[in-house]
């Protein structure tokens, strides 16, 4: 398969390099060219940043099947322990180190003094290909960069498509809970009334309940001694102000994070368009720098409603990370418990623990590094039962405490201790030995979780990479605007918007893609990745049978 390296030239020109042969065209001619090449057999487009180039193509209804995202992969390879870093050095290499993600609002914009504007994609691509080839883990790294790049395509496609959003439903919800939209700077009526209740009950007329110091002082005057104003702290207090205050905080949060201003900013043309940053977090999980896509609150999901005659297929993986741990550690006992829809119940049936809750506490405790309490106690017992799985996270923690880096299954390396982006404490080595010890332990908890969370992110990348292709093929017979498409992704959950008639087929593909991802990553050991799939008109109706209400990781 051919690779075509795409670089910018001054004056809205583009340089394309294919097998060393150079070809220059105007930026405006690029979409038509890409469309033609795609229909002739999908080359791999190699560019500095998918978020820079792809929106331009999508706007022209051009879809790309595969790409290689040089910025993402450069960062990945820089940190991959199985890579000889020196192979990445060379012309413009330092600029790739510094390259920031494209600006969502204006992806083609570079700051005037930025030498990154005209980076040579062909030169960097050659280095990356050679670097991967020379690695003893080249097969895994190849899979990782392909999955990561495909994820970047999916991210741009999801932002382009957007989650179907009924502003009228959302506004009706806000009006019901908060009252009519207030003028700028004012509180909605029902919120203001709750604030009055709080003021009256605390006998503090001028109180601003949004101010923690004021609120703490007023609580203290009323004889309520609390260390903070957290909801859980307040709930434990027996005083008439607690109920309206907690209610106030809840509604104030809704108002400020998903209120009318949020609609104005993030919903356009009946679509909610969050901006994703693939691998935006250190573990490889995606982050989001717009719209709060990572905290898509349950409260407003009722506004996510499929178009007429369309549905949303909502799917999430039950206990993704424990299953990933079973797969990557090759723990046959845990993999056996993972057969079926509920891994924790599987552990109970296995006789390893008495209750589902114990199983969950023990597993999460092992993955997060719990040292005390119920969770810490469960870990000890489960280690005997599932030595490979629990040993893997334990070893990752010990490596971190020794100051060593760890890696995911496919070879992503974690940030080094004191290396900057971990625990943002720039060149401030802890002063005394106690501090140093705490710091190392904290790093050990980070590396412990990194291996599982990071490999979980790799599983998820493979899942959506495969799924987007399956969905594309599924809609191949129909018109372009009737194809099922991904509209949302969050760690272990996807939402597909599709014509109602295709719902069952989409559900089957989502499930098949999950199996394929598992087989791709854990070929030696079969691990099930069962999904909760719902076909719904509104996101709010997506149930999650088999999973408890609290956060399952």
Q: Which 28-57 residues touch DNA, going by CB under 7 A?
A: none
**Does 491 interact with DNA (rule: CB under 7 A)?**
yes
**Does 534 interact with DNA (rule: CB under 7 A)?**
no
Rounded CA-CA distance 546/343 in Å is: 10
Looking at beta carbons only, is 29 or 210 nearer to DNA?
A: 210
Q: Which stretch binds DNA (CB under 7 A): 62-70, 118-126, 322-330, 361-369?
A: 361-369
- In Å, the largest CA–CA distance within the chain is 78
Inter-residue long-range contacts of 71-74, CB under 8 Å, 24+ positions, other chains counted: 71/96, 71/99, 71/101, 72/145, 72/148, 72/149, 72/152, 72/278, 72/279, 73/128, 73/145, 73/148, 73/149, 74/99, 74/124, 74/128
Count the helices and strands in the chain (H runs, E runs).
20, 14
Rounded CA-CA distance 441/501 in Å is: 53
Number of Cβ within 10 Å of residue 551's Cβ equals 7
**Does 249 interact with DNA (rule: CB under 7 A)?**
yes
Looking at beta carbons only, is 511 or 532 nearer to DNA?
A: 532
Question: Mask 368-397, x = binds DNA (CB under 7 A)?
Answer: xxxxx--x----------------------
Say how many CA atoms lie within 13 Å of 86 toward its Cβ: 0
Question: Mask 305-324, x = binds DNA (CB under 7 A)?
Answer: -----------x--------
What's 538's DSSP letter? Answer: B
We find the least distance from the C-beta atom of residue 501 to DNA, in angstroms, to be 28
**Does 490 interact with DNA (rule: CB under 7 A)?**
yes
**Does 404 interact with DNA (rule: CB under 7 A)?**
no
**Does 5 interact with DNA (rule: CB under 7 A)?**
no
Looking at beta carbons only, is 116 or 283 nearer to DNA?
A: 283
How far, CA to CA in Å, does 82 sit from each of 89, 138, 324, 407, 506? 16, 9, 21, 9, 38
We find the least distance from the C-beta atom of residue 549 to DNA, in angstroms, to be 9
Q: Which 260-299 residues touch DNA, going by CB under 7 A?
A: 262, 277, 280-283, 285, 287-292, 294-299
Rounded CA-CA distance 542/81 in Å is: 41
We find the least distance from the C-beta atom of residue 144 to DNA, in angstroms, to be 18
Question: Mask 440-479, x = binds DNA (CB under 7 A)?
Answer: --x--xx--xx--x--------------------------
For DNA, the binding residue among 75, 214, 336, 356 (CB under 7 A) is 214
3-state secondary structure of 444: helix
Q: What is the rounded (10 degree) CA torsion for 7, 12, 13, 18?
A: 30
Q: Which residues, including other chains, have CB under 8 Å from residue 223's CB and lie 6 or more apart? A: none
Q: Which residues bind DNA (CB under 7 A)?
A: 208, 210-214, 228-232, 249-250, 253, 256-257, 262, 277, 280-283, 285, 287-292, 294-299, 316, 361, 364-365, 368-372, 375, 422-423, 438, 442, 445-446, 449-450, 453, 490-493, 551-553
């Amino acid at each position: 398969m051919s690779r075509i390296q795409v670089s910018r030239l001054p004056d809205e020109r583009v340089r394309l390099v294919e097998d060393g042969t150079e070809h220059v065209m105007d930026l405006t001619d690029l979409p038509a060219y890409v469309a033609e090449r795609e229909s002739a057999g999908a080359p791999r487009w190699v560019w500095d940043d998918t978020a820079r180039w792809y929106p331009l193509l999508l706007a022209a209804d051009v879809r790309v099947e595969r790409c290689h995202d040089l910025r993402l992969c450069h960062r990945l390879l820089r940190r991959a322990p199985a890579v000889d870093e020196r192979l990445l050095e060379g012309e413009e290499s330092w600029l790739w180190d510094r390259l920031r993600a494209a600006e969502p609002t204006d992806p083609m914009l570079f700051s005037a003094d930025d030498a990154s504007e005209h980076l040579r994609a062909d030169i960097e691509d050659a280095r990356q290909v050679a670097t991967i080839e020379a690695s003893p883990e080249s097969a895994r790294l190849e899979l990782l960069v392909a999955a990561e790049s495909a994820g970047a395509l999916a991210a741009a496609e999801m932002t382009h498509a957007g989650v179907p959003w009924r502003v009228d439903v959302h506004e009706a919800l806000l009006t019901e809970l908060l009252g009519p939209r207030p003028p700028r700077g004012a509180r909605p009526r029902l919120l203001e009334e709750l604030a009055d209740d709080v003021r009256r009950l605390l006998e503090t007329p001028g109180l601003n309940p949004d101010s923690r110091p004021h609120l703490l002082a007023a609580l203290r005057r009323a004889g309520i001694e609390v260390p903070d104003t957290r909801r859980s702290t307040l709930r434990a207090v027996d005083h008439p102000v607690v109920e309206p205050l907690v209610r106030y905080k809840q509604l104030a949060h809704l108002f400020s994070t998903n209120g009318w201003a949020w609609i104005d900013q993030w919903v356009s043309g009946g679509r909610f368009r969050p901006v994703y940053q693939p691998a935006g977090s250190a573990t490889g999980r995606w982050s989001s720098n717009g719209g709060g896509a990572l905290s898509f609150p349950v409260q407003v999901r009722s506004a996510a409603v499929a178009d007429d005659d369309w549905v949303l297929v909502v799917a999430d993986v039950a206990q993704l990370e424990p299953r990933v741990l079973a797969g990557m550690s090759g723990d046959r006992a845990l993999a056996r418990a993972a057969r079926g829809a509920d891994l924790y119940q599987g552990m109970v049936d296995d006789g390893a623990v008495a209750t589902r809750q114990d199983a969950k506490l023990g597993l999460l405790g092992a993955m997060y590094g719990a040292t005390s309490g119920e969770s810490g106690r469960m870990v000890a017992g489960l280690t005997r039962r599932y030595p490979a799985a629990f040993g893997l996270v334990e070893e990752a923690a010990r490596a971190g405490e020794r100051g060593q880096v760890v890696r995911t299954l496919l070879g992503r390396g974690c940030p080094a201790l004191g290396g900057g982006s971990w625990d943002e404490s720039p060149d401030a080595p802890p002063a005394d030995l106690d501090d140093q010890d705490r710091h190392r332990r904290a790093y050990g908890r980070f590396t412990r979780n990194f291996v599982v969370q990071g490999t979980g992110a790799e599983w998820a990348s493979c899942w959506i990479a495969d799924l987007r292709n399956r969905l594309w093929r599924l809609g191949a017979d129909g018109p372009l605007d009737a194809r099922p498409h991904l509209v949302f992704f969050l760690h272990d959950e996807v939402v597909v918007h599709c014509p109602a008639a295709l719902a069952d087929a989409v559900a089957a593909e989502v499930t098949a893609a999950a199996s394929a991802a598992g087989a791709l990553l854990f070929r030696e050991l079969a691990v099930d990745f069962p999904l909760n799939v719902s076909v719904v008109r509104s996101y709010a109706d997506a149930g999650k049978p088999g999973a408890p209400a609290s956060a399952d990781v």
